[in-house]
Amino acid sequence: MEQIWRKERIRFETPSLSDFSMEGVCRVDMHCHTNHSDAPVSVADALRYVEKNHIGVAITDHNQVSGSIEAISNAKTALVIPGIEVSALDGPHILIYFYKAGDLTDFYRTSIEKKKQNSPYLAIRASTSDILESAAGYACVCSAAHPYGYLLFNKGIGRCVERDYLPEELISRFDAIEVISGGMPRSENMKAVRMAEMYHRGFTGGTDAHLLQDYGLVLTCAVAETVDEFLDAVIQHRNFVIGREKSFMGKGLMGALVAPRYIPYLLPSLAIHYEQNVPRLRRFLQRLKSNLK
């Protein structure tokens, strides 16, 4: 059965949570958010949902670990991967999965907490290189979240490299690439697949869920019973990803329900977006002006 999965390691289809052929396979949504960052979902509701559907979860709140720690402490049957999504000042979002909850907490306290800005879910004061270097001191897996998203923002390593904002060599410092992100269109996920294959990176997948109904729409699957075995499978390319992207209406609903979480931080959010994007726009206009001469 494992030989079959090797030939089909990325499946763009709706996961069947009652698929008996998956017996012995651990299935984890590796990119989920809760009300510890910018989603309206409580950890208790998230755990009830995933345990009812017999899947695992990584709570990867933006620049925050309290939701992940709560899930680890309260899970009854679900495998919970200790995780965080860190937003780098130079653009990319980085999903970091730890083998031990204690390492996740220590990483947060030493490398993230004091670098958060007044809009806590947006970019911290650390570059992609800084974050990867800090994570290298722990047993963990660093995956590039939605490499070509979102929308007009440079929130992925692929887009930043493509536009010459960041050096290509940074891609090889990631352990894995998020090859199916539930919030991305199929075309961008296909580009992520090609990137992972080109640089021989591992595969992860997750819904980027901010609503409970989205949990489990993208699953990373491996023959594993523990966090260690699961993350080892990702690093050793012994896993596969199955899932589908959210519908246009689903993305709209998510945006409408998430937006209020940012209202208290409107001005600092605008300041962060200005710092990240206006200098790039100026460089683009300067290049355009030079080309027209």
Q: Which two tokens stand for residue 233?
A: 């499978």
Domain ranges of the chain: 2-264
pLDDT above 90: residue 289: no
Question: Count of CB atoms within 10 A of residue 152's CB?
Answer: 7
3-state SS class at 223: coil
Beta-carbon contacts of 239 under 8 Å, excluding residues fewer than 6 positions away, are 9, 202, 203, 220, 221, 222, 230, 233
Which of 162, 161, 160, 157 shows the shortest CA–CA distance to 181? 157
What mean pLDDT, rounded, does the chain reach? Answer: 92
Q: How far apart are CA 84 and CA 86, in angstroms?
A: 6
Which of 61, 83, 63 shows the shortest CA–CA distance to 72? 83
Counting other chains too, the contacts that 102-107 makes at CB distance below 8 Å and 24 or more residues apart are 103/138, 103/139, 103/140, 104/65, 104/68, 104/69, 105/65, 105/69, 106/138, 107/134, 107/135, 107/138, 107/140
Residue 208: its pLDDT value, please?
Answer: 97
pLDDT single digits (tens) 27-36: 999 999 999 9
Residue 1: its pLDDT value, please?
Answer: 43
The rounded percent of the chain whose pLDDT value lies above 70 is 94
Residue 292: its pLDDT value, please?
Answer: 76
Residue 154: its pLDDT value, please?
Answer: 78
Residue 171: its pLDDT value, please?
Answer: 98
pLDDT above 60: residue 21: no
Q: How far apart are the first and last CA of the chain?
A: 61
Residue 201: its pLDDT value, please?
Answer: 98
CB 62 within 8 A of CB 38: yes
Question: Which range is least confidently modeled, 98-107, 122-131, 159-168?
Answer: 159-168
CB 218 within 8 A of CB 84: no
CB 164 within 8 A of CB 91: no
User: What is the average pLDDT across 281-291?
Assistant: 73
The residue count of the chain comes to 293
Residue 19: its pLDDT value, please?
Answer: 65
**How would CATH label the architecture of 2-264?**
Alpha-Beta Barrel (3.20)
Residue 4: its pLDDT value, please?
Answer: 44
pLDDT single digits (tens) 38-97: 999 999 999 999 999 999 999 999 999 999 999 999 999 999 999 999 999 999 999 999
pLDDT single digits (tens) 121-157: 999 999 999 999 999 999 999 999 999 987 667 789 9
Residue 18: its pLDDT value, please?
Answer: 67
Strand 140-144 and strand 93-98: pairing? antiparallel
Q: How far apart are CA 126 and CA 141, in angstroms?
A: 19
Q: How far apart are CA 168 and CA 35, in angstroms?
A: 34
Residue 39: its pLDDT value, please?
Answer: 96
Residue 293's pLDDT band, with cuts at 50, 70 and 90, is low
